[in-house]
Structure 1
Amino acid sequence: MSTELTPADPCATEFLDRAEIEVEGRLVDASNATLYCGLSADGVQAHCVYKPISGERPLWDFPDGHLAWRELATYLVSEAAGFHVVPPTVLREGPFGPGMVQLWVDTDEESELVDITAPDEVPEGWRPILRAEDGAGNPAVLAHADVPELRAMAALDVVVNNTDRKGGHVLNTAAGVFGVDHGICLHQEDKLRTILWGFMDEPLGDRVRAGLERLSRELDGELGSTLAGYLTAEELHALRTRTRLLRAADTYPEPGNQWRAIPWPVF
C-alpha cells in the first residue's frame, strides 16, 4: 500500500531529493518550462512541479543566477521565518537536468482567497485592493481574504521583493495556504508587485514580528551562508535590509509610486 506525501511531512524535502521523477505533463500557461511530474520512493507517492534550468528564458532584469535558485531561496526564507507558506522545494537533477522540484498541492477551487467580484458581493472581512470595470463596463473589485497565512505571505513578499504575486499564485489547499512561482524574487532594486496590499499600514502582528526576528538571526548565520550560493552579494544585502526595515516599521508598507505595484494580469 502506498501513501501520499503532504507538505507538513517533516521528511518532505528529503523525499523530494531522492524520489524517482516521471514526467506526466506540462503546464502550458507558464512562460518557462514547467513540468507536472509524479514522484515515488519506498511506497510513498506524490506529485511535483519540476522547472529545469535548461528551460528558463533569459530575463534582462534578472541577469544573475537562475530562476530555480530564487525559487529555492524564497522557500528557505519562508521556512526560516516560520511562515511555511511555500510548498517544500529543492534543487536536484531531473529528467532534463538540474532544476527546481516543488511539491504539488491541490487547490480548493470552491474556497479561493483572492477574487474579482461586484462591489456588493465582496465577502465579509475581505480586503478590497483595486476598483475597476469588467469587460462589459460593470464595476468590479479585486479583493483578498484576511487570514493569518496571507498576512505572513504579504510580509514574505516584502522581504523577498516579489515582483509577481498574482492571485493565481495564492493556493488554498486542504494542507494549508501556499504561494508559488517565486522565480522573479530577491532583486536588489525595489520591484514589489503583489495583490496582497489589503494589510497596508496595519501592525505586523505577533506571528509576523516573531518570524522576522528569527529570519534576521538566520540571515546573519547559516541561512545567509546558504543563500550566498544562490544570490549575489548585493541581493543578499538587500534581503537583510528589507527584513530589518520591515521589522523596524512594524507595519505593512504602502505601494511605492515609482513602479507599478500590482502585477498584470492580476491572475
Structure 2
Amino acid sequence: MTASFQGLPVTDALDLLRSGDLVAEGRLTTASNATLYCTITAGGRSAPCVYKPVAGERPLWDFPEGTLAGREVAAFAVSDALGWDIVPPTVHRDGPFGEGMVQLWVDGDPEVDLIDLARDVRHPGLRRMAVFDAVINNSDRKIGHLLPTRDGHLYGCDHGVSFAEDYKLRTVLWQWQGEPLTAESLAALESLHAQLTAPDSTVSTELARHLTRPEGYAVRRRVELLREHRIHPYPSPEWPSVPWPPV
C-alpha cells in the first residue's frame, strides 16, 4: 500500500473516506455522470473529496454489468498494488444520494500545461501511468484526466470506463508504444501478478467485489502479456486509439 497522500497516511485517508460525514458542496457540471464536490469530516479532520453516486450513472452498452463507481475503486486497488500512487485514495460507500465512489480531491498545479505534459516522453510518472492504463484497459485516458501537483507528483482520475474484458485501450499516451518496459515497470508488474494470484490479497478481493469474473481474469492475463512481451502495447486496429474529445 502507498505510504501517504499529500502528507496523510493512506490508511488514515481510507479510514476518513469510509467513516467520515460526507456533505455535498456542489456539482461538477462538466462531468458526464453525476459528480459531486464534497467535504468529508471525521475525528477533527476534514478533506475535500469527489462523490459519484451509482444512481447518477448513465447506462453504457459496453459496460452492462457492475458500476462505474466500482471500477473506480478497482482502479485504486490496482494502483495501490503497483505501488505507484496514481489513483487518489478511493472507497465504495453510502452517501447522501446512495452508494457510490468517494475519492479524495487533488489540487492540480495550474501552472502545468497539460497538453505539453501529455506529450512528454521523459516524465517517469506519465510512463508509469501508460503501463497502469494498459493493465486496467482504460478506454478513456484524456489529457484532462492528468492531475499534476505542485510537488511534482502525477495523479490520474476518472477510471470508471476501465476493465473491459475485450481490448479497448484508448489513451493520449501512445508515445512509448512498442518500446521496452522499464526495469521498474517489470518489477511492479511482477509484484502485481503475485498479488493477483493470491485470492486473499487486497487487490484480488477488490477486483472480485467490483468486476465480473471474466474481467478479473482479463486483468491478470494483461499483466501476464506485458511481462511476457516486455514492451508497451500498440493501439488496436479495430478500436479508436484516442478518446474523443482527447482533452
Pairwise same-fold verdict (TM > 0.5): yes
Name the SS of the counterpart of 1:237 in structure 2: helix
Give the structure 2 partner of residue 94 of structure 1: 95
Report how far residue 146 of structure 1 moved: 2.6
* Range with greater deviation from structure 2 (79-88 or 7-16): 7-16
Structure 1 CA distance for aligned equivalents of residues 33 and 145 of structure 2: 15
Structure 1 CA distance for aligned equivalents of residues 58 and 233 of structure 2: 31
In the TM superposition, what are the counterparts of 1:117-136 in structure 2 within 5 Å?
none
Picking from 167, 186, 190, the partner of 2:143 is 167
**Aligned CA distance change for structure 1 residues 240 and 7 (closer, same or farther; 3 Å):** farther
Percent identity reads: 47
Is there any run of 5+ residues in structure 2 with no aligned partner, and where?
none
CA contact under 8 A between 1:35 and 1:50: conserved in structure 2? yes
Give the structure 2 partner of residue 143 of structure 1: 119
Per-residue displacement from partner, 1:18-43 (whole Å, max 9, x unpaired)?
11111111010111100000112222
Which residue identity does 1:260 align to in structure 2?
A: P
Please tell me whether residue 84 in structure 1 is matched to residue 85 in structure 2. Answer: yes
Going by fraction, where is helix more abundant, 1 or 2? 2
C-alpha RMSD over aligned residues: 1.6
Give the structure 2 partner of residue 220 of structure 1: 197
Give the structure 2 partner of residue 156 of structure 1: 132
In the TM superposition, what are the counterparts of 1:238-257 in structure 2 within 5 Å?
238-257=218-237
Give the structure 2 partner of residue 38 of structure 1: 39
Report how far residue 7 of structure 1 moved: 6.5
Per-residue displacement from partner, 1:128-167 (whole Å, max 9, x unpaired)?
xxxxxxxxxxxxxx72353111111100100100000000
CA contact under 8 A between 1:7 and 1:87: conserved in structure 2? no
Give the structure 2 partner of residue 109 of structure 1: 110
Picking from 160, 163, 174, the partner of 1:197 is 174
Structure 2 CA distance for aligned equivalents of residues 41 and 230 of structure 1: 26
Structure 1 CA distance for aligned equivalents of residues 86 and 108 of structure 2: 14
In the TM superposition, what are the counterparts of 1:177-188 in structure 2 within 5 Å?
177-188=154-165
* Range with greater deviation from structure 2 (246-255 or 177-186): 246-255
Please tell me whether residue 229 in structure 1 is matched to residue 209 in structure 2. Answer: yes
Name the SS of the counterpart of 1:100 in structure 2: strand
Per-residue displacement from partner, 1:4-24 (whole Å, max 9, x unpaired)?
x73652311111111111111
The number of equivalent residue pairs is 238
Structure 1 CA distance for aligned equivalents of residues 78 and 88 of structure 2: 12
Report how far residue 180 of structure 1 moved: 0.3
Structure 2 CA distance for aligned equivalents of residues 33 and 177 of structure 1: 25
Structure 2 CA distance for aligned equivalents of residues 8 and 65 of structure 1: 30
Per-residue displacement from partner, 1:165-184 (whole Å, max 9, x unpaired)?
00000110135210100000
Going by fraction, where is strand more abundant, 1 or 2? 1
CA contact under 8 A between 2:77 and 2:206: conserved in structure 1? no
CA contact under 8 A between 1:6 and 1:12: conserved in structure 2? no
Q: Which structure has the bigger radius of gyration?
A: 1
CA contact under 8 A between 1:162 and 1:185: conserved in structure 2? yes
Give the structure 1 partner of residue 55 of structure 2: 54
CA contact under 8 A between 1:7 and 1:88: conserved in structure 2? no
CA contact under 8 A between 2:143 and 2:246: conserved in structure 1? yes
Report how far residue 203 of structure 1 moved: 1.8
Which residue identity does 2:88 align to in structure 1?
A: P
**Aligned CA distance change for structure 1 residues 13 and 157 (closer, same or farther; 3 Å):** same
Is there any run of 5+ residues in structure 1 with no aligned partner, and where?
117-125, 127-141
Give the structure 2 partner of residue 67 of structure 1: 68
Report how far residue 230 of structure 1 moved: 1.1
